[in-house]
Structure 1
């Protein structure tokens, strides 16, 4: 099902309806950064929630503000990093895994898409150390999700592993607590 938005352009971005988003932006350029009345999401945040690469690219080319925050004080980067495989993705991966490793390649492809999404946002100038209402940065979430492909990207963009969230925990503390030794080593090198 997903989320329902009060702003039609946000709903269209969430559903990856490029034609509809294009019509809204053509009508009024200010729609590009409109914030939904329900949760404050922008079209860019909506597209990042779902990992819609083409939509994100389209919005960025039209100067969508990567640093706008929603009511949870999250930017599009928080959602890009928090993006998980959907139940349908897992189902496809499991069903197709025995068939010439198609499931594995599907999983690799989805991971590469997410990496490309985060790379796009970083190149567009998103604030890598922005904190949300819990004091968490994108790096906190990448560590919680044990995302070894995104952590080096975030660190290269100067993500600070020492920033503490509202529970007093840094990204390094999270890696230690969850016993992710490879990630802990990566974070130690960055400090």
Structure 2
């Protein structure tokens, strides 16, 4: 199912609803970098978790702070760099779409590259260390 966000800007960034996100930011610009009370996710982190390129670009263009970290001390860059194929992706490709394997791979990788470029073009701290890396154990 995934995370359920209480902050509207995080919820709409995660779902990819640009119209509602635009309205929320127009009404209250402080929502741009609002953090979830429990996870500490910002709208930018929420969008990066879900791979919403249009939302990430919109937030960065409007001055979202790529340096902010969540409760796990992760920035948006941590979530962009973690986006890879899952086991289910590989099974679906191998069983249902053998002919389209190359096209699917290229489209998914192109989106990940675009996400990475968008985040790296911001002022994100590329040396940020998350909780797992810092302490050598999982959260």
TM over 0.5: yes
CA deviations 1:108-134 (Å, max 9, x no partner) are 211121111111111112111111112
Give the equivalent residue in structure 2 for 1:32. Answer: 32
Mark the CA change 1:46 to 1:86 in structure 2 (over 3 Å): closer, same or farther: farther
Runs of 4+ in 1 over 2 A off after TM superposition: 84-94
**Tell me, which stretches of 5 or more residues in structure 2 are unaligned?**
none
The 1-side partners of 2:97 and 2:23 are apart by: 38
Q: Which has the larger radius of gyration?
A: 1
Aligned to 1:44: 44
Alignment of 1:166 onto 2:135: yes
- Aligned partner of 2:111 among 99, 105, 113: 113
What is the alpha-carbon distance in structure 1 between the residues aligned to residue 86 and residue 31 of structure 2?
Answer: 29
Normalization by structure 1: what TM-score? 0.66
* Closer, same or farther: CA 37–121 of 1 in aligned 2, 3 Å: same
Task: Provide closer, same or farther for how the CA distance between residues 26 and 92 of structure 1 changes in structure 2, counting only shifts above 3 A.
Answer: farther
Aligned residues: 135
Map of 1:1-191 to 2, 5 A cutoff? 1-85=1-85, 89-90=89-90, 92-94=92-94, 95-97=96-98, 99=99, 102-134=100-132, 136=133, 165-167=134-136
Higher relative contact order structure (alpha carbons within 8 Å, sequence separation ≥ 6):
2
Segments of 5+ residues of structure 1 without an aligned counterpart are 137-164, 168-191
Aligned to 1:26, what secondary structure does the other structure show? helix
